């Protein structure tokens, strides 16, 4: 304690200074802080402070709680309104470990969502944190912050599919008696979802009215509450996007923070088919094609059995004929797999319920034949599919087959069952076509085809597909 006095001063000034030298261990003599509104204990192992009646200087603060470490400096002063405000500059060496104690001390508006999220691993943190202390006129404290959180290979859940999160998330927000607002930018360089890597993830998010809003779901406010951060005035108009399979992926939607319920739209554009196959473990340099699609999903974070949704996708500019499943299909149809009979386009409409995907419409077609099917697939990639094999509508043969009425394009029905990597395929011809196909397509039907007739089939096929 130091007392300063000069004759011209009406009263002396008292300066109180204290210093905590660095301590290697925490014991019963260690000073601890535990705020009423943020019930998370911080043990001070190093730091200095000075108080002169109107201002408190905080220097080289080093606070710890297990593996959480906060390094900061700042000051606390009385404002013109008479209320005290503390401002901390959180240094880049700070680390937060989101254990049960830290999550339990979070505001109730977001606590439930973090508990269901099961975020694992430490975060580096830096930025500014402000704290309005309560007084007689303001019994409830208020907070504001402008922080950057560094992801260091974090994951969601102990055994969940989301892992290896690396990058940054900015967050600017405010909490007081009126509301809780926050917004920021996602800037994740890389993450894995199951075995798939997604890179360059960028986009906006916001927290309003107990909801986490992603991308396009952030509305443009028509009336700005006084407590809302100015950054929320900006027009977002873009989803959170990243790169996957040589194309782009995006997400927009919302998550309720009290129970983790979500409603999101996922989309993929210009995904490269060879890259998709390579990352799925079926490399084939001869394949080409582009995939587009989107799906709307609803559910609850951490409850995959409650997942439901619907979507669609298309395939274009493709040449699919050497994939194991398609080779089996061609063999069933007595067609030699080649570029001239490859599937070039496709489309699918599907629904999701829990761990199962139902294909309401699944189509592949090329210059010669088309597959038109339905079926299901579960999370273990076990399929139960049924395809009608038809002459492609783009083929001249479709006009020759017109006398067969509604079945004029259908050649066979294929049933595909078992694991996707090695399914069992059954072929069945329709009664209306069996005899006619034996006469018209000797190269495609029946192992007893005469050699001279079989030799004519490639030439006839080329004529029909020109």
HEC profile of 209-242: CCEEEEHHHCCCCCCCCCCCCHHHHCCCCCCEEE
Q: How far is CA 355 from CA 255, 288, 295, 383, 466, in A?
A: 21, 29, 15, 12, 43
Is 27 part of a structural domain of the chain?
no
pLDDT tens readout for residues 125-144: 999 999 998 888 888 889 99
Q: Rg (Cα) of the chain, in Å, rounded?
A: 33
Distance CA(220)–CA(196), nearest Å, equals 34
Is 212 part of a structural domain of the chain?
no
Neighbouring-strand partners of residue 204: 185
Q: pTM for this structure?
A: 0.78
Instruction: Give me the pLDDT at residue 403, please.
Output: 42
Instruction: Give me the pLDDT at residue 73, please.
Output: 96
Beta strands of 29-137 (E only): which ranges?
Answer: 31-33, 42-51, 55-65, 68-78, 84-96, 119-120, 123-132
Is 430 part of a structural domain of the chain?
yes
The alpha carbon of residue 257 and the mean position of all alpha carbons in its chain are separated, in whole angstroms, by 17
* pLDDT tens per residue across all 466 residues of the chain: 888 777 777 888 888 898 988 888 888 888 888 887 788 999 999 999 999 878 999 999 999 999 999 999 999 998 888 899 999 999 998 999 998 899 888 877 777 777 777 889 999 999 999 999 888 888 888 999 999 999 999 998 877 788 999 999 999 999 887 778 899 999 999 999 878 899 999 999 998 888 899 998 888 654 444 444 444 444 456 899 999 999 999 999 999 888 889 999 999 999 998 888 777 666 667 788 999 999 999 998 878 889 999 999 999 999 888 777 788 888 777 778 787 788 899 999 999 999 999 999 999 998 888 899 999 999 888 999 999 988 766 654 444 444 444 444 456 888 999 998 788 888 876 544 444 444 444 444 444 433 444 444 344 344 443 4
Is 409 part of a structural domain of the chain?
yes
Is 140 part of a structural domain of the chain?
no
Domain region containing 364: 323-466
Instruction: Give me the pLDDT at residue 95, please.
Output: 94
Distance CA(364)–CA(341), nearest Å, equals 12
Distance CA(316)–CA(216), nearest Å, equals 27
Is 57 part of a structural domain of the chain?
no
Instruction: Give me the pLDDT at residue 421, please.
Output: 78
Instruction: Give me the pLDDT at residue 457, please.
Output: 39
Instruction: Give me the pLDDT at residue 283, please.
Output: 67
Is 437 part of a structural domain of the chain?
yes
Is 354 part of a structural domain of the chain?
yes
Strands 13-20 and 2-4: antiparallel
Q: How many domains does the chain have?
A: 1
């Amino acid at each position: 304690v130091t007392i300063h006095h000069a004759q011209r001063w009406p009263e002396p000034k008292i300066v109180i200074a204290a210093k905590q030298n660095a301590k290697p261990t925490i014991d019963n003599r260690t000073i601890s802080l535990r705020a009423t509104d943020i019930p998370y204990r911080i043990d001070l192992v190093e730091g200095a402070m000075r108080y002169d009646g109107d201002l408190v200087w905080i220097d080289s603060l080093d606070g710890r709680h297990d593996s959480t470490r906060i390094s900061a400096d700042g000051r606390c002063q009385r404002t013109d309104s008479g209320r005290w405000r503390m401002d901390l500059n959180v240094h880049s060496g700070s680390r937060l470990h989101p254990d049960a104690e830290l999550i339990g001390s979070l505001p109730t508006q977001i606590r439930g969502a973090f508990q269901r999220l099961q975020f694992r691993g430490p975060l580096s943190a830096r930025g500014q944190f402000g704290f309005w202390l309560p007084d007689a006129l303001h019994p409830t404290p208020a907070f504001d912050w402008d922080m950057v959180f560094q992801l260091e290979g974090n994951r969601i859940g102990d055994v969940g599919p989301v892992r290896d999160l690396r990058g940054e998330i900015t967050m600017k927000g405010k909490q007081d008696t009126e509301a809780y607002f926050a917004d920021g930018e996602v800037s994740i360089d890389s993450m894995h979802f199951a075995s798939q890597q997604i890179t360059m993830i960028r986009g906006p998010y916001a927290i309003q009215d107990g909801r986490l809003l992603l991308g396009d779901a952030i509305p443009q406010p028509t009336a700005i509450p006084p407590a809302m951060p100015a950054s929320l005035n900006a027009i977002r108009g873009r989803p959170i996007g990243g790169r996957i399979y040589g194309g782009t992926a995006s997400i927009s939607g919302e998550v309720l923070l009290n129970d983790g319920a979500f409603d999101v739209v996922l989309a993929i554009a210009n995904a490269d088919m060879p890259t998709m196959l390579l990352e799925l473990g079926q490399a084939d340099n001869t394949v080409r094609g582009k995939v587009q699609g989107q799906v709307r999903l609803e559910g609850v974070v951490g409850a995959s059995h409650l997942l439901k949704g619907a979507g669609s996708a298309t395939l274009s500019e493709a040449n699919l004929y050497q994939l194991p499943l398609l080779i089996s299909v061609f063999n069933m149809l007595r067609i030699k797999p080649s570029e001239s009979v490859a599937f070039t386009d496709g489309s699918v409409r599907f629904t999701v319920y829990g761990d199962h995907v139902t294909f309401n419409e699944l189509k592949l077609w090329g210059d010669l034949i088309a597959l038109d099917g339905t079926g299901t697939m579960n999370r273990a990639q076990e399929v139960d599919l049924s395809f009608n094999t038809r002459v492609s509508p783009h083929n001249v043969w479709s006009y020759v087959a017109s006398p067969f009425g509604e079945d004029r394009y259908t050649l066979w029905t294929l049933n595909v069952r078992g694991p996707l990597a090695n399914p069992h395929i059954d072929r069945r011809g329709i009664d209306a076509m069996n005899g006619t196909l034996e006469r018209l397509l000797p190269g495609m039907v029946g192992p007893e085809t005469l050699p001279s007739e079989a030799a004519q089939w490639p030439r006839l096929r080329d004529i029909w597909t020109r």
